Amino acid sequence: MCRVNNNVVRNVTVVFEDTDIDINYSTKQKLFFTPIGDISYAKYNSKNRTLYIDLAPRGTVFKNAPAGYILPITSKNINETAVKIADKDLIEVYGSTSGISTNGGYGSNGNYGKKGPRSSYSGGDNVALTGTLRRFSEVKKVGAFSGQRIDFYVLELPNSITVDNMSAKQIQLNITNNDSRYTRYINKKVTISGSLRVPENFNWQRNVVLDSPSLY
């Protein structure tokens, strides 16, 4: 089963640039595929019902993980992977939901609620956020090093989130400026995990910080 833009199809052949896929499954079950990380390229050929996929570059956290998993369609698997399978998809492909709860198409792994992506968090929440990586150079106005030029990275989200009543669209990464792991991803879409925090002092350029960030 696969969603291709506004179309839901079944019995699709998936051609992956990365062949390292966990294939421990039974073809007698209703199945779905979920990648580990973001998909950088996807093209569907309706004539031969083939979907071609390539993954975006992944960080060291998942360097030993497979490119993705083929799993049975169950409420548990949908929730744990946050795959965007909705009730209407199951009905369109299989005729009914077969008692499977999809939570409206988003899992409950911490980043999603029943109606879509979460927008409100508490300090200390562990998250995986997707946005555009930016690098800034700004003159610090207050706090330590006031008046000096500061270079830093932020994750620019498509929409603002709230952490302990502090709203922010740009999340500053708690990393050293010369961390070469991030340089190649500047101005690119990335997914970064870490722990959210609202700083208690003025040593930061943004109102929300992501501690211990790791590239997916």
pLDDT band per the 50, 70, 90 thresholds, residue 154: very high
Contact 177, 151 (CB under 8 A): yes
Question: Is the pLDDT reported for residue 95 higher than 50?
Answer: yes
Angle formed at CA 126 by CA 105 and CA 137, multiple of 5 degrees: 105
User: What is the per-residue pLDDT for 78?
Assistant: 74
CA distance 133 to 196: 16
Q: How far apart are CA 85 and CA 78, in angstroms?
A: 7
The three-state DSSP-derived secondary structure of 55-103 is: ECCCCHHHCCCCCEEEEECCHHHHHHHCCCCCHHHHHHHHCCCCCCCCH
For 110-145, write each residue's pLDDT tens digit: 443 433 456 788 888 888 888 899 998 888 777 666
Q: For the chain, what is the radius of gyration of the CA atoms?
A: 20
Q: Is pLDDT of 155 > 80?
A: yes
pLDDT at 106: 40
What's the mean per-residue pLDDT of the chain? 75
Please choose, from the candidates 98, 74, 69, the residue with its C-alpha nearest in 3D space to the C-alpha of residue 85. 74
**What integer pLDDT is reported at residue 146 of this predicted model?**
75
Domains detected in the chain: 2-116 (no CATH), 120-215 (2.40.50)
Which of the two residues, 174 and 184, has the higher pLDDT score?
174
pTM above 0.85, yes or no: no
Whether pLDDT at 37 is above 50: yes
Between 105 and 90, the more confident residue is 90
Q: What is the mean pLDDT of residues 51-63?
A: 63
Q: How much is the pLDDT for 210? A: 94
Which one is predicted more confidently, 186 or 8?
Answer: 186
For residue 211, give Cα distances in angstroms to 52, 56, 90, 151: 35, 23, 38, 17
- Give the pLDDT band of residue 163 (cuts 50, 70, 90): very high
pLDDT at 59: 55
